[in-house]
Copies of this chain bind each other. A is one copy, B any other.
Amino acid sequence: MKRIAFLVAAFATLAALVASMSPAPGRADDEAVPIYGIKIPSRYREWKMISVAHEEGKLHSFAAILGNDTAFKAFREGKLPYPDGTIIAALHYGHVPSEENNQVFGDPQSFVPGPPTNIQFMVKDSKKYASTGGWGFAHFNNDGKPGNEALLQTCAPCHAKASRDFVFTRYAP
């Protein structure tokens, strides 16, 4: 048992060492959004994929929705309400035709992500964000700058209309 305990400790130490040595990819700024005080989580770009989305109309956007491990587990298991610690990331891009793909396919049919436009996060903390359904909201423009207070005030009232604990996204199997 001592040997196992030592191995576990060694594993944890090495895992922490490896994590601390790894570069932190993706944008990670120090500026927090107003109202909710959320910063860009480190390494969010490496989170698992929950679903994809495409908005026409005014937005004309393409999105990948990623989640941290707590989020991914809850989505996959269909667990509602989402547990504290859930963080959902929506990575938004333009929705643009792919010239290369269309040339190969011979039809104007292929759409791919254009330049990134913004990243949005939903953070579940049922105490801290009790007045907005337990969710904190964040928006960062592509330059890493947080959205302003007026913008952030629009998040909760709209998400409150979603039928599944403020979340529009459903898990894509």
Contacts and interface: CB of A to CB of B under 8 A. Distances in A.
A168 B109 contact: no
A167 B48 CA distance: 22
Interface in A1-26: 6-8, 10-11, 13-15, 25
Given A14-B8, A48-B46, A168 B54 contact: no
A113 B172 CA distance: 7
A47 B47 CA distance: 9
Oligomer: number of copies: 2
Nearest to A93: B172
B111 A55 contact: yes
Interface stretch (A120-128, A129-137, A145-153, A155-163): A155-163
A32 interface: no
Point out which of A15, A101, A108 has the most chain B C-beta atoms below 10 A from its C-beta: A101
Interface stretch (A33-41, A59-67, A80-88): A59-67
Contacts of A79: none
A52 B62 contact: yes
A4 to B, nearest CB: 9
A113 B52 contact: yes
A28 interface: no
Contacts of A143: none
Q: Which 10 A-B pairs have the closest CB atoms?
A: A57-B109, A54-B111, A49-B49, A113-B172, A52-B52, A11-B14, A56-B109, A10-B10, A104-B161, A7-B10
28 contacts: A6-B10, A7-B14, A10-B10, A10-B14, A25-B76, A45-B173, A47-B48, A48-B48, A49-B64, A52-B62, A52-B64, A52-B93, A52-B112, A52-B113, A54-B54, A54-B111, A56-B109, A57-B105, A58-B107, A59-B109, A64-B64, A93-B172, A100-B162, A100-B163, A100-B168, A101-B168, A104-B162, A104-B168
